[in-house]
Amino acid sequence: MSTALLTDHYELTMLQAALASGAAHRRAVFEVFARRLPAGRRYGMVAGTERILDAIQNFQFGDQELEFLRDVIDRPTHDFLAGFRFSGDIYGYREGETYYPGSPILVVEGRFAEAVLLETIVLSILNHDCAIASAAARMVHAAGDRPIIEMGTRRTHERSAVAAARAAYLCGFGSTSNLMAGLEYGIPTAGTAAHAFTLLHDSEEAAFQAQLASLGAGTTLLVDTYDVAKAVQTAVELAGPALGAVRIDSGDLATAAIEVRRLLDDLGARQTRIVVTSDLDEFAIAALAVAPVDGYGVGTCLVTGSGAPTANLVYKLVTREDAAGRLSPVAKKSVGKPSRGGRKWAYRALRDGTATAEIITRAPAEDVGRPLLAPLVRDGEIIGRESLAAARARARASMSELPPIAHSLSPGDPAIPTIFNWSWETGA
């Protein structure tokens, strides 16, 4: 499937006009960054880089795309696109790194013509995946050692759901309900039954019996279709103390969990776990920390970014070749939307293993901190692939190097400052 038309019209009209003026062939550098984090957030989490590499691989204009574009662009542009492959370089933050205002998450270098064409697809992927990952990371931290199942598929677009499951798993969710995410990314999938299954049968007992017979005593029984206490009793009577788990999906979850735990223990089902679901977000998860809960299922709030459904990342031209062939920094002066010209490098400064600052420089620097920009594409060739497992391990490491304030759920400033250290420009 070509990704080339998952693109804004104006990328192609800009290309057309720049091909005509000759400026299309100028070398250019675009950077992706966030002017600010969503209100009150302490850090952002990078996700989507690997999906960008997939998208670039499929970014070509085939017969169908070219036929459609006949009415959009002129003949020279059409001819240019017919053979188009991105041939530049891309550097980027690795998935699972945290980011802050101004962090140059992705740096795209090439001719203007090719770098401008990637703008829309790059932003779509990063704005979605970073938004989900940034919410997921907060939920994972709030859940502590308790596993979280991602189950938001039904609350978002059917393909966003797959990317959301991936972003959540990357940040430490244990599994997803989404089968396509299992097929495409090898993420563990999970799920047992809904209220409809209980209602389908002639009694709750008959439904539990059917589920246990088919899925085994290790299954999770949903106990809030009618009366929770009665359902728990029925569940343990039928399954015995080997019952895997019960799920509560309504009511005040803390109160319900305490009652169900007492009941399960009284019935001898001390190993049976309690899973809670029902519009959980990071705040609700944190509030349940003292309740006898063994796992969480999170849906709506995960796939909608828990109040911040887009990361609001932008893709800005920061350097380009001028008429004399020199690379020179550029920046617009629009009111309230300034940007910083010049190609940038980024480092994470640490003290005793704890992040202290995001250092942005205008030239490669030494001994400033961990370099954050990794080579992803060189001369059009993808060289930066890595496994989802590696990204997941990095997310865990990144979160553990954050200062404690980063994990506060109350609104506040970014956990570490972004320091634009232009002294590195001259090597000073």
Task: Please report, as residue ranges, which positions from 165 to 204 form the binding site for its own copies (by CB under 8 A).
Answer: 177-180, 182-183, 189-202
For its own copies, the binding residues in 94-123 under the rule CB under 8 A are: 112, 116, 119-121, 123
- Rounded to whole angstroms, the Cα distance separating 193 from 214 reads 12
Least Å distance, CB 274 to its own copies, is 16
Q: Which is nearer to its own copies, 181 or 391 (CB)?
A: 181
Q: Is 20 in the site for its own copies (CB under 8 A)?
A: yes
| Candidate residues 154, 262, 351, 370; the one interacting with its own copies per rule CB under 8 A | 154
Least Å distance, CB 369 to its own copies, is 30
For its own copies, the binding residues in 48-87 under the rule CB under 8 A are: 55, 64-65, 68-69, 72, 74
Q: Among 15-23, 281-289, 372-380, 413-421, which window interacts with its own copies (CB under 8 A)?
A: 15-23
- Rounded to whole angstroms, the Cα distance separating 275 from 246 reads 6
Tell me the angle at which helices 388-400 and 119-143 cross, rounded to the nearest 10 degrees: 60
Q: What angle do CA 7, 89, 169 make, to 5 degrees?
A: 65
In this structure, what DSSP letter does residue 105 have? -
Dihedral sign (CA 50, 56, 62, 68): positive
Q: Which two tokens stand for residue 353?
A: 């293993």
Q: Is 225 in the site for its own copies (CB under 8 A)?
A: yes
Q: Is 30 in the site for its own copies (CB under 8 A)?
A: yes
Least Å distance, CB 226 to its own copies, is 5
Buried b (16+ CB within 10 A) or exposed e, 394-407: bbeebbebbeeebb
Q: Is 153 in the site for its own copies (CB under 8 A)?
A: yes
Q: Among 87-95, 249-257, 349-357, 393-401, which window interacts with its own copies (CB under 8 A)?
A: 249-257
Q: Which is nearer to its own copies, 330 or 350 (CB)?
A: 330
| Candidate residues 310, 354, 356, 421; the one interacting with its own copies per rule CB under 8 A | 310
Q: Decide the pairing of beta strands 418-420 and 354-361.
A: parallel
Q: Is 227 in the site for its own copies (CB under 8 A)?
A: yes
Q: Is 345 in the site for its own copies (CB under 8 A)?
A: no
Least Å distance, CB 396 to its own copies, is 24
For its own copies, the binding residues in 380-409 under the rule CB under 8 A are: none
- Rounded to whole angstroms, the Cα distance separating 137 from 170 reads 9
Q: Among 233-241, 248-256, 349-357, 384-392, which window interacts with its own copies (CB under 8 A)?
A: 248-256
Buried b (16+ CB within 10 A) or exposed e, 102-123: bbbbbbbbbbbbbbbbbbbbbb
- Rounded to whole angstroms, the Cα distance separating 184 from 392 reads 16
- Rounded to whole angstroms, the Cα distance separating 138 from 148 reads 12
- Rounded to whole angstroms, the Cα distance separating 412 from 351 reads 22
**Sheet with 354-361, edge to edge strand ranges:** 370-371, 345-351, 354-361, 418-420
Q: Which is nearer to its own copies, 308 or 395 (CB)?
A: 308
Q: Which is nearer to its own copies, 206 or 397 (CB)?
A: 206
Helix (H) or strand (E) holding 23: none
Q: Is 8 in the site for its own copies (CB under 8 A)?
A: yes
Q: Taking the mean position of all CA atoms in its chain, how far away is CA 148?
A: 16
Least Å distance, CB 177 to its own copies, is 4
Least Å distance, CB 337 to its own copies, is 5
Q: List the x/- string, 253-292, binding to its own copies by CB under 8 A.
A: ----------------------------------------
For its own copies, the binding residues in 315-334 under the rule CB under 8 A are: 315-317, 320, 322-323, 330-334
Q: Which is nearer to its own copies, 330 or 349 (CB)?
A: 330
User: Total binding residues for its own copies by CB under 8 A?
Assistant: 108
Q: What 3-state DSSP class applies to 241?
A: helix
Q: Is 127 in the site for its own copies (CB under 8 A)?
A: yes
Q: Are 376 and 384 in contact (CB under 8 A)?
A: yes
